[in-house]
Each structure stands twice: as structure tokens, then as C-alpha cells.
């Protein structure tokens, strides 16, 4: 199988995040409330901007209460075709605000449409040896918070011998 899709990771920017002088984001522990996250700053051409040291310039943003879904252990599809509501840009937002270990009896988690995932600080989303399928034409963007301590564990190195990308999609 060949894996390939547009998958954008903002979490990899931990070094840049730690060097910022933004106010500390609040860890959200309730299932509702405004959620702060860090996002790269883009120039007028849509390119990510860098400072003089080569670090990505980040800005703190928030997503309003009622505009995101909280990730659960039973999620099997994110985005279009779910009970989640798309925002004004047609994007779906999901938040991991507490430790979640996905039910290992489920198949892969499928992303439909343009999906954004916010990993709150100090929480882990464990896929339990299942993959996140982001097939061609779909997108997954992962954001972190101020401390960059949220964790996403996704792989397909499971007991049945299947090995492959933890996040990706099949190209046929």
C-alpha cells in the first residue's frame, strides 16, 4: 500500500512554541468552553512565516464553545457525515481535552473533509494501534497548545502483522 495525503502537523513546532512570549494558554478540562491553540502565521501569499532564526512564527487563537466536538474513544469518523457541524469555512473542529484511548475493537478512524484537531496540553490521544485514514481529497491539521505537551499516538504496527503509516490514506 502506498500512503500519501495532505496532512499538516503544527504540533511539530514545539521548539518554536517554547520560544514564543505569548500568554500561557489555559488547559481546558471541561467538555465545553473556549479552547486556545497555536497556529502558524501566514503571509499574504499563504506561506508560513519564519523569524530571523528560522523558527515558525506562531500566534494564539481560540475556537469558541459550541463550534467543536470533543474526541471520544468511540469515534470512527470525523468531519462530513457525522453529527459535527462545519464552521463558516466548511471545516470541522475536534478537541482532545482529556486522555483518550480509542476503543481497540474499532477499525481505523476516517477523516471526511477538512478536519482540524486540537491536542490540549498534557493529554494523550492513543489510537490503540489503529490508523487515522486521511484519503485523497481530505485534510487533517493537528494543532497544539502553548506548552506543546499534547500527544497523538497513531500507528498500524499491530498484532495482526499490519505495518504502515499511522496517519495517511490509500492511493488507488
Whole-number Cα distances in Å, 1 to 84, 113, 163: 30, 22, 10
- DSSP secondary structure, 130-157, as one string: --EE--TT-EEEEE--TT---EEE----
Q: Can you tell me the mean pLDDT for 94-112?
A: 88
Q: What is the pLDDT of residue 43?
A: 96
What is the spatial distance between Cα 138 and Cα 37, in angstroms, rounded to a whole number?
22
Taking the model in full, what pTM does it have? 0.76
Is pLDDT of 153 > 60?
yes
103 and 75 Cβ atoms separated by less than 8 Å: no
pLDDT above 70 covers what percent of the chain? 71
Q: What is the pLDDT of residue 124?
A: 94
Amino acid at each position: 500500500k502506498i500512503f500519501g495525503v495532505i496532512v499538516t502537523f503544527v504540533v511539530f513546532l514545539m521548539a518554536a512554541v517554547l520560544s514564543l512570549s505569548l500568554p500561557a494558554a489555559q488547559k481546558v478540562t471541561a467538555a465545553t468552553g473556549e479552547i486556545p491553540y497555536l497556529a502558524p502565521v501566514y503571509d499574504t501569499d499563504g506561506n508560513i512565516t519564519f523569524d530571523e532564526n528560522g523558527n515558525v512564527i506562531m500566534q494564539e487563537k481560540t475556537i469558541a464553545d459550541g463550534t467543536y466536538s470533543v474526541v471520544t474513544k468511540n469515534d470512527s469518523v470525523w468531519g462530513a457525515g457525522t453529527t459535527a457541524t462545519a464552521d463558516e469555512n466548511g471545516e470541522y473542529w475536534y478537541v482532545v481535552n482529556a486522555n483518550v484511548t480509542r476503543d481497540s475493537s474499532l477499525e481505523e478512524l476516517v477523516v471526511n473533509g477538512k478536519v482540524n484537531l486540537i491536542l490540549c496540553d498534557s493529554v494523550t490521544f492513543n489510537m490503540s494501534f489503529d490508523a487515522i485514514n486521511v484519503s485523497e481529497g481530505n485534510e487533517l491539521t493537528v494543532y497544539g497548545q502553548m506548552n506543546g505537551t499534547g500527544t497523538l499516538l497513531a500507528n498500524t504496527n499491530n498484532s495482526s502483522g499490519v505495518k504502515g503509516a499511522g496517519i495517511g490514506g490509500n492511493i488507488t
